[in-house]
């Protein structure tokens, strides 16, 4: 399967390293307006760079060698424009998260994607980390009983530098609650199996980026927040984000509690902990199980193997062996929840999802 990559910065390097592990995939074209990023991709491709064509934009890439699928890994605020010529083709598309930075753009992309037969997939790869996949399967199989609460924690490092520093401003990213947290809102919808009704977020830029200046502008991105989401089936979910906690052993922790038990998983430890309820005073019956990931796959990226397994699932969808697992609608809903959280934090109020979605 001949791949074209649009945007060849940091995330594209991870895609390139993982595509290399898939025997059916070959990279034939790259598009990026920054020559340094194209050089970076050529270096990552190493001995496979020889036959690869490079272009300054998506339009010229589409006039180049024939392709079987494309991956869009350009900055968030470029996704809508970059996708326009791609959606006019019959090519399968994997678009990095977030689908777009505004709800209008995200909804427009949902409409355009629905008019075509080819797979359109949004890169919500946290679903594909093997320990997270196992956690989701266990919750869906009823291991905690009836689910009532879902808490997601991300305690990590500050935003990395990007090509042109686009990620320092909410106008380019959609805001942290869209840019970073779309992953977690997507996980919430998937795990809870219902739609969000109302969102409350308290967050601000308290520690990071405060001394940075870009053309005399200070970044305007949230670096920590607490968000609660009420779902239509009564489940309440919580997201705890802190981006000045790089000393934390676990970067992500997912905790589901139902009427029968509590289930937790941690990344990067991969430790799954099951704690069934016990009578008061009785011995605890905690079970711990490590969920392993192939070291070659782990080494190919920074997302605990997720990029590889997502690409594999995307190839299955392209080949017609399996359905698209993360649709344009899923991508739009994650953007909508992120925007609801951004509005809630800015305006200090609860935001109902029907304010945004009607």
Ligand X SMILES: NC(=O)c1ccc[n+]([C@@H]2O[C@H](COP(=O)([O-])OP(=O)(O)OC[C@H]3O[C@@H](n4cnc5c(N)ncnc54)[C@H](O)[C@@H]3O)[C@@H](O)[C@H]2O)c1
* Span from 9-17, 84-92, 201-209, 320-328 in contact with ligand X (CB under 6 A): 9-17
Work out whether 154 is an interface residue with ligand X (CB under 6 A).
Answer: no
Q: Are 266 and 288 in contact (CB under 8 A)?
A: no
Residue 54 main-chain phi, psi, to 5 deg: -120, 140
Residue nearest to ligand X (CB): 9
CB of 76 to ligand X, least distance (A): 5
Work out whether 10 is an interface residue with ligand X (CB under 6 A).
Answer: yes
Work out whether 325 is an interface residue with ligand X (CB under 6 A).
Answer: no
CB of 28 to ligand X, least distance (A): 16
Q: Beginning with the edge strand found earlier in the chain, give each strand of the sheet holding 93-96 in spatial order.
A: 53-55, 26-31, 2-6, 69-72, 93-96, 120-123
Work out whether 78 is an interface residue with ligand X (CB under 6 A).
Answer: yes
Q: Find the binding residues for ligand X in span 231-260 (CB under 6 A).
A: none
Work out whether 266 is an interface residue with ligand X (CB under 6 A).
Answer: no
C-beta closer to ligand X: residue 231 or 308: 308
User: Token pair of 275, please?
Assistant: 């704690």
Work out whether 74 is an interface residue with ligand X (CB under 6 A).
Answer: yes
Work out whether 97 is an interface residue with ligand X (CB under 6 A).
Answer: yes
* CA dist., res. 13 & res. 19, Å (int): 10
Work out whether 303 is an interface residue with ligand X (CB under 6 A).
Answer: yes
Q: Considering only residues 16, 25, 27, 73, which one is a binding residue for ligand X as defined by CB under 6 A?
A: 73
Q: Considering only residues 31, 106, 267, 297, which one is a binding residue for ligand X as defined by CB under 6 A?
A: 31
* CA dist., res. 244 & res. 246, Å (int): 6
Q: Considering only residues 103, 119, 125, 272, which one is a binding residue for ligand X as defined by CB under 6 A?
A: 125
CB of 161 to ligand X, least distance (A): 8
Q: Considering only residues 2, 116, 149, 162, which one is a binding residue for ligand X as defined by CB under 6 A?
A: 162
CB of 262 to ligand X, least distance (A): 27
C-beta closer to ligand X: residue 11 or 45: 11
> Checking DSSP bridges between strand 236-242 and strand 147-155, what pairing results, if any?
parallel
How many residues touch ligand X under the rule CB under 6 A: the total is 28
* CA dist., res. 318 & res. 112, Å (int): 18
* CA dist., res. 152 & res. 132, Å (int): 11
Q: Find the binding residues for ligand X in span 132-151 (CB under 6 A).
A: none
* CA dist., res. 227 & res. 179, Å (int): 15
* CA dist., res. 16 & res. 42, Å (int): 10
311 CB neighbour count, 10 Å cutoff: 25
Q: In terms of Cα–Cα distance, which of 207, 191, 149, 171 is closest to 339?
A: 171
Work out whether 106 is an interface residue with ligand X (CB under 6 A).
Answer: no
Strand, helix or coil for residue 57: coil
Q: Considering only residues 67, 92, 96, 317, which one is a binding residue for ligand X as defined by CB under 6 A?
A: 96
* CA dist., res. 77 & res. 106, Å (int): 11
Query: Which residues neighbour 161 within 8 Å (Cβ) at sequence distance 6 or greater?
Result: none
Kindly list the residues in this chain that would bind ligand X in the complex (CB under 6 A): 6-12, 31-34, 37, 57-58, 73-76, 78, 82, 96-97, 123, 125, 162-163, 179, 303
């Amino acid at each position: 399967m001949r791949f074209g990559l649009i945007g060849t910065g940091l995330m594209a390097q991870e895609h390139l390293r993982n595509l290399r592990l898939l025997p059916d995939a070959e990279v034939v074209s790259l598009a990026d307006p920054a020559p340094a990023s194209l050089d970076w991709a050529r270096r990552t491709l190493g001995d496979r760079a020889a036959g690869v064509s490079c272009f300054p934009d998506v339009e010229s890439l589409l006039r180049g060698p024939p392709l079987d699928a494309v991956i869009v890994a350009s900055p968030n605020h470029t996704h809508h424009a970059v996708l326009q010529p791609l959606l006019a083709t019959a090519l399968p598309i994997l678009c990095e998260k977030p689908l777009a930075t505004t709800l209008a753009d995200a909804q427009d992309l949902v409409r355009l994607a629905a008019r075509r037969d080819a797979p359109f997939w949004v890169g919500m790869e946290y679903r594909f980390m093997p320990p997270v996949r196992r956690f989701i399967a266990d919750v869906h199989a009823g291991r905690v009983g009836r689910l009532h609460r879902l808490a997601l924690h991300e305690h990590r490092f500050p935003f990395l530098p990007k090509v042109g520093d686009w990620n320092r401003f909410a106008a380019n990213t959609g805001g942290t609650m869209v840019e970073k947290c779309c992953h977690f809102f997507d996980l919430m919808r998937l795990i809870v199996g219902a739609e969000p009704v109302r969102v409350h977020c308290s967050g601000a830029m308290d520690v990071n980026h405060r001394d940075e200046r870009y053309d005399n502008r200070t970044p305007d991105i949230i670096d920590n927040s607490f968000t609660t989401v009420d779902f239509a089936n009564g489940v309440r979910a919580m997201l705890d984000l802190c981006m000045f906690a790089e000393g934390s052993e676990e970067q992500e922790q997912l905790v589901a509690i139902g009427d029968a038990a509590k289930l937790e998983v941690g990344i990067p430890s991969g430790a799954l902990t099951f704690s069934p309820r016990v009578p008061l005073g009785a011995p605890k019956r905690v079970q711990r199980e490590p969920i392993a990931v192939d070291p070659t796959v782990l080494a190919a990226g920074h997302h605990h193997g997720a990029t590889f397994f997502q690409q594999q699932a995307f190839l299955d969808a392209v080949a017609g062996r399996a359905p698209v697992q993360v649709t344009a609608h899923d991508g739009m809903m994650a953007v909508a929840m992120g925007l609801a959280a951004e509005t809630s934090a800015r305006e200090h109020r609860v935001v109902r999802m029907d304010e945004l979605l009607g």
